Amino acid sequence: MDRISVMKPWLGTAESDAVAEVIASGWVAQGPRTAAFEQAFAAHQQVGHAVAASNCTTALHLALKVAGVQAGDDVVLPSFSFIATANAPTYLGARPVFADVEETTGNVSAQTIEAALTPKTTAIIAVDQGGMPLDLEPLRRLCDERGLALVEDAACGAGSTYRGAPVGVGADVSAWSFHPRKLLTTGEGGMLTTNNEQWAQRARRLREHAMDVSAADRHGSTLAPQESYGEIGYNFRMTDMQAAVGLVQLSKLEQMVVRRRELAARYQQELAGVPGLRFVQDPEYGTSNYQSFWIEVSRPFPLDREGLLAKLAEDGISARRGIMASHLQPAYAGHSGYTVALPVTERLTANTLILPLYHDLREEEQDRVISSVLSASALTTAGA
Ligand SMILES: *Cc1c(COP(=O)(O)O)cnc(C)c1O
C-alpha cells in the first residue's frame, strides 16, 4: 500500500524546460525572468507592484521595513501561524505582540487584534491562515482609525479570494510564499505586493543590498554606471531559475485551485455529520484555496488529535498536526509580547490536524483517507 503524503507540488516538464532555457541563456541570477514573473504576479493579483524575494520570510521582513516599522515598535500578529510571522518584526528589533484568532477561520479579526493593541503598536500582521481569506474590511477600518500599517501575510493565500477579488490587495503591503508546501512553488521563493509605488521601489533596492542601480542593469550595460548604497540593505533576491518556474506555476494556479476545491468539497461531504469533527469551510465573504484542509477533533470523537494521527499513520496516511502556536515555542519562552490570553489559539493548535490534499491526489487515495477517519470514528465508539 502506497503512503499518501500530506502535500505534493504539481510540477512537470514545462517547469524543467523553463529552467533549462534560463540556464542555456547564461543569466541565472535575478534578471529578466524575475522581472517578468513580478509583472505577471502583480497582474494576476490585481495589485500595482510586485517585488520578488528569496522567500516569504524575507518578503515579510521587507514589508515591515518599508511600512516604517522600527526598533522598539510593537507589531500585533497571531501566535497561531508559522513562526516566521512573529520572527519578521523581531529581525527589525520590534516586538511581536500575540493576538488570538477566530475559531471558525483560524484568522485574526478586528476584535482579537484590538484586544491586543498596545500604545507602541505601529503595525499589524494579519494572516490568511492555510489559505483561508481573512476578513479584511473591519481590520482596514481599525488600522485606518488608529494610523496603523496593515501588513498581510498571504504566504498561503495565492488563489484565495475576498469579496470577489484576490486576497492581499486591500492591505498596505502583502507577502507571499512559493515554498513547496504552498500551491504555487518555485522551490524557495517569495513576493511582496503593494499599491504604494515608493514602498515598492524601496523594497526593490533593499532586497538587493540597497543598490541604486540593479545588478541586472549594471551587467546589461558595457560601461556600468557607478552604483551607490543609500542605506543598509539585504540580499533577498530570487534567481531567474526560480522565476522561470514561477511563471509556469502561475499559469497553472487557477487549475490547482479548482482541483483543491473539488477535493475539499469531497472531504466536507463525506465527513459531514461525524460527531466531534469540525472542518474548515469557506467563510461567507470569500473563497479558500484550501492550502491546508484542517479538521478539529474533539469529543465525542473517540480519539484525540494524536490518536487520530496515529491511526492515519497506521493506514499509510501522512497527515500533519495543525497550525503551530508561536507563543508556545521555546524561541518565545518568557517573551514580553504575550499579553492577552490566547484560548482559541491553544485549543486549535492542540486539536487540529491537516489531511492530505494536493493536485494529483486521486479520488481512490482520498477515499482511503476518508475511510480511515470514518473507521476511527465508528469502531472505537462501538468498543467504548
Ligand atoms: C510558509 C509560511 C511562511 C514562510 O514562508 P517561507 O517562504 O518559507 O519563508 C510565513 N507565514 C506563513 C503564514 C506561512 O504559512
pLDDT of residue 110 exceeding 50, the answer is yes
| Ligand 1 centroid from CA 34, angstroms | 20
Strand, coil or helix: 79: coil
Return the bridge partners of 150, or none: 124
Per-residue pLDDT tens digits for 237-269 = 999 999 999 999 999 999 999 999 999 999 999
Q: What percent of the chain has pLDDT over 90?
A: 92
| Ligand 1 centroid from CA 142, angstroms | 25
Locate the ligand 1 atom nearest the alpha carbon of residue 129 and give its number: 13
| Residue pair 194/181 in contact by the 8 Å Cβ criterion | no
Active site residues: 182
| Ligand 1 centroid from CA 156, angstroms | 7
**pLDDT number for residue 239:** 98
Out of 75, 77, 82, give the residue to mutate to test ligand 1, the one with the largest number of ligand atoms within 8 Å of its CB: 82
**pLDDT number for residue 379:** 63
Mean pLDDT value across residues 357-367: 97
pLDDT of residue 380 exceeding 60, the answer is no
Q: Residues with Cβ within 6 A of ligand 1?
A: 55-57, 81-82, 84-85, 127, 153, 155-156, 177, 179, 190
- Grid cell for residue 294: 484542517
List Cβ neighbours of 185 (8 Å cut-off, separation of 6 or more): 9, 11, 178, 179, 245, 249
| Residue pair 244/21 in contact by the 8 Å Cβ criterion | yes
Q: Work out whether the CA dihedral 80, 309, 185, 58 comes out positive or negative.
A: positive
pLDDT of residue 384 exceeding 70, the answer is no
- Grid cell for residue 179: 515554498
| Average pLDDT across the chain, whole number | 96
SS3 content of the chain, % helix, strand, coil (to 5): 40, 15, 40
Mean pLDDT value across residues 217-235: 86
**pLDDT number for residue 224:** 77
The residue contributing the CA closest to ligand 1 atom 1 is 155
